[in-house]
């Protein structure tokens, strides 16, 4: 894995990614540590926008408001998978919309698929609690084995106040790169994100707030919220090899904690 990008604050941390109106892609190869993963934000008040997915399969995840995307209506935490080479129109609802756009290049086309958050919450392999008293959180897999796709995976995780998440520490660089977009963390809430290969000398320790993104090209990546607040995030992954490496819940837990499992076993039922 020596060809993986280094863990570096300049290329792994992107701040305040929702500050612009319109569509803006802030994570992509060449300007960040991502090799395949693209992440953008679509924040609209009233006017629709149209663009092509080009060579990238793309998932649109509604964070706030509502929108019609490629003919489908999305409300909070609904997701829509759209194949590569598709012309997409996003029309905001009456109160505007805030969408996350997660994409990666693929060779093949896979069908458009709508994922309603209500349906995810009724599936115990897609919606489950994990972690102990100080690391309890709720995972929601939006774009996982429920969606036919080539590279991308995505979901939302919600923690308990002051808790750790992504615990026990795990990594999956041989299969996929990952990024976290921090959501639903109103001021003055904040957290700390670690990304490291050596816990005694972590390469990245970053204070994170709502709308920040941290990219994990490699390494263990636990995080923790400040007391009184929660650390919540949209996690997004791009597999190294199309279809072959697209596996959620397959991780290497740090040897010091491996005896207890990863906490992600429910997703593999």
What digits encode the pLDDT tens for the residues 231-262?
999 999 999 999 999 998 889 999 988 887 77
Comparing C-alpha atoms, which of 192, 212, 177 is closest to residue 13? 212
DSSP state of 117: H
DSSP letter for each residue of 43-111: EESS--EEEE-TTEEEEEEEEEEEEEETTEEE-TT-EEEE-SS-EEEEEEEEEEEEEEEEEEE-SS---
Check pLDDT > 60 for residue 61: yes
Residue 260: the pLDDT is 73
Reported as a pLDDT band with limits 50, 70 and 90, residue 1 is low
Tens-place pLDDT, residues 6-32: 999 999 999 999 999 999 999 999 999
Could you tell me which residues come within 8 angstroms of residue 137 by beta carbon, excluding any fewer than 6 positions away? 129, 130, 131, 157, 158, 159, 160, 163, 165
User: How does pLDDT run across 117-169, given as a tens digit for each residue?
Assistant: 999 999 999 999 999 889 999 999 999 999 999 999 999 999 999 999 999 99
* Surface-to-core class of residue 158, CB atoms within 10 Å of its CB (0-12 exposed, 13-18 middle, 19+ buried): middle
This prediction has a pTM of: 0.96
Residues in the chain: 269
Asked if pLDDT for residue 269 goes beyond 70, the answer is no
Stretch among 47-56, 80-89, 113-122, 130-139 having the lowest mean pLDDT: 130-139
Output phi, psi for 248, to 5 deg. Answer: -85, 140
Q: Give the helix/strand (H/E) hosting 121.
A: helix 117-121
Report which DSSP code applies to 266: G
Q: What is the pLDDT of residues 192-227, one digit of tens each?
A: 999 999 999 999 999 999 999 999 999 999 999 999
- Going from the C-alpha of 2 to that of each of 5, 59, 206, 218, 260, the distances in angstroms are 8, 29, 24, 10, 29
Euclidean distance between the first and the last CA atom of the chain, given in angstroms as a whole number: 29
Domains along the chain with CATH numbers:
9-252 (2.60.120.10)
DSSP assignment of 177-208: EEEEEE-S--TT--EEEEEBSSTTS-SEEEEE
């Amino acid at each position: 894995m020596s060809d993986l990008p280094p863990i570096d604050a300049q290329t792994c941390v992107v701040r305040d990614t929702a500050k612009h109106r319109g569509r803006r892609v802030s994570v992509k190869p060449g300007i960040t540590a991502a090799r395949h993963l693209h992440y953008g934000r679509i924040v609209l008040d009233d006017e629709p926008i149209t663009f092509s997915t080009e060579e990238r399969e793309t998932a649109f995840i509604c964070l706030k408001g509502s929108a019609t995307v490629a003919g489908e209506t999305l409300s909070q935490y609904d997701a829509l998978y759209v194949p590569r080479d598709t012309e997409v129109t996003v029309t905001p609802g009456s109160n505007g919309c805030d969408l996350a756009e997660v994409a990666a290049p693929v060779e093949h086309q896979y069908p458009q698929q709508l994922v309603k958050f209500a349906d995810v919450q009724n599936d115990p392999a897609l919606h489950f609690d994990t972690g102990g008293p100080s690391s309890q959180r709720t995972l929601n897999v939006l774009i996982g084995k429920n969606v036919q796709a080539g590279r991308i995976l995505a979901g939302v995780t919600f923690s308990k106040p002051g808790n750790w998440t992504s615990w026990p520490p795990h990594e999956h660089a041989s299969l996929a790169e990952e990024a976290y977009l921090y959501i639903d963390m109103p001021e003055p809430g904040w957290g700390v994100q670690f990304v490291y290969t050596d816990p005694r000398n972590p390469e990245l320790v970053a204070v994170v707030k709502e709308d920040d993104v941290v990219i994990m090209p490699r390494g263990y990546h636990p995080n923790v919220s400040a007391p009184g607040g929660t650390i919540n995030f949209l996690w997004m992954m791009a597999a190294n090899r199309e279809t072959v490496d697209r596996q959620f819940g397959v991780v290497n837990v740090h040897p010091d904690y491996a005896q207890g499992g990863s906490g992600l076993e429910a997703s593999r039922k």
